[in-house]
Chain A
Amino acid sequence: MNGSDTSIMYGLMAEFETPTFLVEAARRTSNAGYQVIEIYTPFPVEGLEKFLGQRRNRLSLFALVGGCIGAISSYFLEYYSAVIDYPINVGGRPYHSWPAFIPATVELTILGAVLAIVLGLFLLNGLPRLNHPVFNVSQFDLATQDRFFLCVKASDSCFDKIETRRFLESLKPVNVHRVEK
């Protein structure tokens, strides 16, 4: 615990018992000027958005692009195979029978969008990632149970080992943990 070097430190983490305390703590941390904070909760907690400094949610863009890729590629495939590569005359029906091409296009549009959303969710959240500094905190297994954690990262410009610890302790947490890198 005598490490004076912040390069081996990920941040300081305060542990709270209820979401109400957590939201209040997030508000005060944000007011105190800290910007690089991370909040860990066992379930989505409403009212934290404004402290996270999050940009627009880009998942819907992933969905749109994935859906378009699915639609265009499947329609193109149907057109290419039924009109250009291997035209078969079925009872005089037109080679480009577009209404019959719609069902498969619809299905693959949805499939494309869904795959893009799941991929986007993993990419944006940086998952899968089995190792992470916060897992070094022994109490952190409660973050998926009934405890709420607020971590001020050492990369924050306002971060100071002593001051930040003092500040976090003023928020009346259950505990303040040091997160090793």
Chain B
Amino acid sequence: MPTESSNAEVGDKVSDLILIPQRRWLWHGAFGISAVLSVLFFLAIGYLFVVGVGIWGINIPVAWGFAITNYVWWIGIGMAGTFISAALLLFRQQWRTSISRSAEAMTVFAVAIAALFPLLHLGRPWFAYWLAPYPDTMNIWPQWRSALVWDFFAIFSYLIVSVLFWYVGMIPDLACLRDRARKRPAQIFYGLLALGWRGEARHWRRYQMASLLLAGLAVTLVFSVHSMVALAFAEGNTPGWHSTIFPPFFVVGALFSGFAMVLMLVIPVRAIFGLQDFITAQHLDSMAKVLLAVGLIITYSYVIEVFMAWYSANPYEIYTMQNRMVGAYAPLYWGMIFCNVLVLQALWFKRVRLNSIALFLVGTAVVVGMWLERFMLIVTSLHRDFLPSAWGMFSPTLWDWIILVGSMGFFAMLFLLFVRFLPVVSIFEIRRATSGTEKK
């Protein structure tokens, strides 16, 4: 915990990042690149709307390709944000306060981007609203027995809840910015967003109650969301998918990629904005430990998948595992093992955990490894079904790559706008933690 800074300094430091325009060429450079990628992303989506999903490499049997891989990956990245701010709040983990705000922002953006992919994958995305239950003239209702409909409700609720959680958590800090802003446009902007918050003690009591309740509900929701995603696979009678381990396996995988992404975002933000006082090496150390713990559960899941295939004595399951290890997509499988299992072991060493460049690289490896895992899970199961006559291959097209890279650019752009215009660190929570009035 940063103990030296007084209450005023915390607010000054965080709000000065926003209120005093500074020439940060790194920020401008990053924003330029991400803006170009975002434009490409939307151009590719526009072309998709015109021409259809034929521009992607998907086919029969591999009808799910990059779009669903990206969807599962992005929604997983979102999970750590809710986990860091909500679950660690419930467990009264003080170290979360410095990183919770950027983690929540990451969640909102990642979930919003994730939600695009099932829509784009629909083939006729303009009919996406048919998933919503409303009394239309065609008398069509959603099919409640379908995991796709569960998924729709899960993402929809998750998106609304994470936006509310993020925004409600920011209100006191927006009020702080409103009061510190000296320019009229900033005063009006933050003043409207702060909704007239004035820090009355009774309000604070309700606010704290609301934070706890929201946290409890958000944690429940986040676990259910990933279970729904997993059920969309497990409901299908396809070798490699039809497994009861899927819901917990997906939840842990999501946590894994999410924590890695938080590291990837927090390390540069901390370096660029000089926030080392708030986001200390100790915070990175704690996150690295969580990452290691979650990664070991992932390793366990990989072992169990192989064991269950063998133990089931089901020839199709055994073949799927063999195919993953030595088949056409074997490099992806071993790449995943390398990124998610081997590289991760570096985190046993304290020197690595305290070195932000090394941590950033480990985080990158995990994010890449988790993408490979999602891709491998989806494509290897589909491309070798029960009958050899239904076998096929998938190879991504340029448009697949543009949409994947473009989505990253769009995410980066949203995050850069966030760090420019909203408080990246929760001012009031840090003040409270440093004021010494907190009950131990």
Interface, chain A (partner B; CB < 8 A): 19-20, 38-49, 52, 54, 57, 59-60, 63, 77-78, 81-82, 85-86, 88, 90, 93, 97, 100-101, 103-104, 106-108, 110-111, 113-115, 117-118, 120-122, 124-125, 127-132, 134-135, 140-146
Q: Is there an interface contact between B141 and A40, defined as CB atoms closer than 8 Å?
A: no
Q: Is there an interface contact between B145 and A107, defined as CB atoms closer than 8 Å?
A: no
Encode contact with A along B111-148: 1 for CB under 8 Å, 0 otherwise: 00000000000000000000001000001111111000
Q: Which of B44-52, B193-201, B327-335, B396-404 contacts A (4 or more CB under 8 A)?
A: B193-201
Encode contact with A along B396-440: 1 for CB under 8 Å, 0 otherwise: 000000000000000000000000000000001101100101110
A47 to chain B, nearest CB (A): 7
Distance of A13 Cα from B235 Cα, bound (Å): 63
Distance of A45 Cα from B202 Cα, bound (Å): 11
The residue from B11, B210, B213, B435 contacting A145, defined by CB atoms under 8 A apart: B11
Q: Is there an interface contact between B205 and A108, defined as CB atoms closer than 8 Å?
A: no
Contact A107/B198 with A41-B204, A141-B180 known, Cβ cut-off 8 Å = no
**B387 near A: Cβ within 8 Å?**
no
5 additional A-B pairs beyond A44-B208, A125-B202, beta carbons within 8 Å, are A52-B202, A106-B224, A125-B206, A127-B203, A143-B198
* B199 cross-chain contacts in A, Cβ below 8 A: 40-43, 143-144
Distance of A28 Cα from B132 Cα, bound (Å): 58
Give 16 A-B contacts (CB < 8 Å), ordered by A residue.
A43-B204, A44-B208, A48-B201, A49-B205, A52-B201, A54-B202, A103-B150, A107-B157, A111-B161, A117-B217, A121-B207, A121-B210, A128-B195, A141-B179, A146-B8, A146-B431
> Helix, strand, loop or mixed for chain B's interface?
helix
* B203 cross-chain contacts in A, Cβ below 8 A: 125, 127
Interface, chain B (partner A; CB < 8 A): 6-8, 11, 133, 139-145, 149-150, 153-154, 156-157, 160-161, 164-165, 168, 172, 175-176, 178-180, 191-192, 195-210, 213-214, 217-218, 220-221, 224, 228, 231, 428-429, 431-432, 435, 437-439
Distance of A54 Cα from B205 Cα, bound (Å): 9
* A45 cross-chain contacts in B, Cβ below 8 A: 201, 204, 435, 437
Q: Is there an interface contact between A77 and B133, defined as CB atoms closer than 8 Å?
A: yes
Distance of A81 Cα from B138 Cα, bound (Å): 13
Q: Is there an interface contact between A128 and B196, defined as CB atoms closer than 8 Å?
A: yes
Q: Is there an interface contact between A47 and B196, defined as CB atoms closer than 8 Å?
A: no
* B221 cross-chain contacts in A, Cβ below 8 A: 107, 110
* A85 cross-chain contacts in B, Cβ below 8 A: 139, 141
B75 to chain A, nearest CB (A): 14
Residue of B whose beta carbon sits closest to that of A38: B200
Q: Is there an interface contact between B198 and A135, defined as CB atoms closer than 8 Å?
A: yes
Q: Is there an interface contact between B153 and A103, defined as CB atoms closer than 8 Å?
A: yes
B153 to chain A, nearest CB (A): 4
The residue from A19, A78, A144 contacting B175, defined by CB atoms under 8 A apart: A144
Q: Is there an interface contact between B179 and A144, defined as CB atoms closer than 8 Å?
A: yes
The residue from A57, A97, A118, A130 contacting B196, defined by CB atoms under 8 A apart: A130
* A120 cross-chain contacts in B, Cβ below 8 A: 210
Residue of B whose beta carbon sits closest to that of A114: B161
Distance of A143 Cα from B214 Cα, bound (Å): 26
* A115 cross-chain contacts in B, Cβ below 8 A: 160, 164
Q: Is there an interface contact between B164 and A114, defined as CB atoms closer than 8 Å?
A: yes
Contact A82/B144 with A144-B179, A145-B11 known, Cβ cut-off 8 Å = yes
Distance of A117 Cα from B208 Cα, bound (Å): 12
Distance of A130 Cα from B193 Cα, bound (Å): 10
Residue of B whose beta carbon sits closest to that of A123: B206
Q: Is there an interface contact between B164 and A103, defined as CB atoms closer than 8 Å?
A: no
B169 to chain A, nearest CB (A): 11
Q: Is there an interface contact between A42 and B209, defined as CB atoms closer than 8 Å?
A: no
Q: Is there an interface contact between A121 and B6, defined as CB atoms closer than 8 Å?
A: no
B92 to chain A, nearest CB (A): 13
Closest 10 CB pairs of A and B: A128-B195, A141-B179, A146-B7, A81-B141, A39-B201, A103-B150, A43-B432, A146-B8, A111-B157, A44-B204
Distance of A39 Cα from B217 Cα, bound (Å): 30
Q: Is there an interface contact between A81 and B133, defined as CB atoms closer than 8 Å?
A: yes
Q: Is there an interface contact between A43 and B428, defined as CB atoms closer than 8 Å?
A: yes
Residue of B whose beta carbon sits closest to that of A44: B204
Distance of A121 Cα from B202 Cα, bound (Å): 11
Distance of A43 Cα from B434 Cα, bound (Å): 11
* B165 cross-chain contacts in A, Cβ below 8 A: 114
Residue of A whose beta carbon sits closest to that of B146: A100
Distance of A147 Cα from B210 Cα, bound (Å): 24
Distance of A81 Cα from B131 Cα, bound (Å): 13
The residue from A43, A46, A78 contacting B144, defined by CB atoms under 8 A apart: A78
